[in-house]
Amino acid sequence: MKKELVNKREIKLVGLSTRTNNQNEMDAKTAKIGALMGEFFGKNKAVHISGRKSPGKTFSVYTEYASDEHGDYTYFIGEEVTSFDDVSSELSQLIIPAATYQKFTTNPGKMPEVVINAWQKIWKMTPDDFGGKRAYQADFEVYDERAHDPSNVSLDIYIGIV
């Protein structure tokens, strides 16, 4: 994985969210992320989002951490918007705060292995690897045109640091 230290401005998102943790996500009976992604893409929720900034560019966000990667967090999937005007009541809003992030770009590969392998590497990293301590405020994945072919996906993962 390639890495790059970046500063990002605030990002406004509209989409769907759920509360979960990594332990629950390892068991198909308690996992929620896959089902939420299925709802977002299967019911084409993005077309109901007003003011889409980059249609087809999807953000998967991990936020509202109870502690760290071992505790509960909110998982959010959606698209960036220009404003929160006219948000449907069936959709959630989220603001990713302006912050410093270590950006990791994966090598191309099959889904979901690409993202699983990337997170397994990230979980083993130290503050020295990140260039700072993890903030546990908002971490996110960006799926753009490089993710359209599920057998050849590349994505960016942003880890907030302080």
Measured between alpha carbons, how far apart are the two ends of the chain, in Å? 21
Q: What is the DSSP letter of 47?
A: G
Compute CA distances 93 → 113, 122, 155, whole Å: 28, 27, 23
Regarding beta strands 2-8 and 73-80, do their DSSP bridges make them parallel or antiparallel, or are they unpaired? unpaired
47, β-bridge pairs: none
User: What is the full per-residue pLDDT of the chain (162 aa) written as tens digits?
Assistant: 999 999 999 999 999 999 999 999 999 999 999 999 999 999 999 999 999 999 999 999 999 999 999 999 999 999 999 999 999 999 999 999 999 999 999 999 999 999 999 999 999 999 999 999 999 999 999 999 999 999 999 999 999 999
Predicted pLDDT at 31: 97
Q: Which residues contact 88 (CB under 8 A, 6 or more apart)?
A: 48, 49, 50
Predicted pLDDT at 20: 98
Alpha helix ranges (H) inside the chain: 22-25, 33-42, 113-123, 127-130
Predicted pLDDT at 156: 98
Positions of E strands within 55-155? 58-63, 73-80, 92-96, 99-105, 138-143
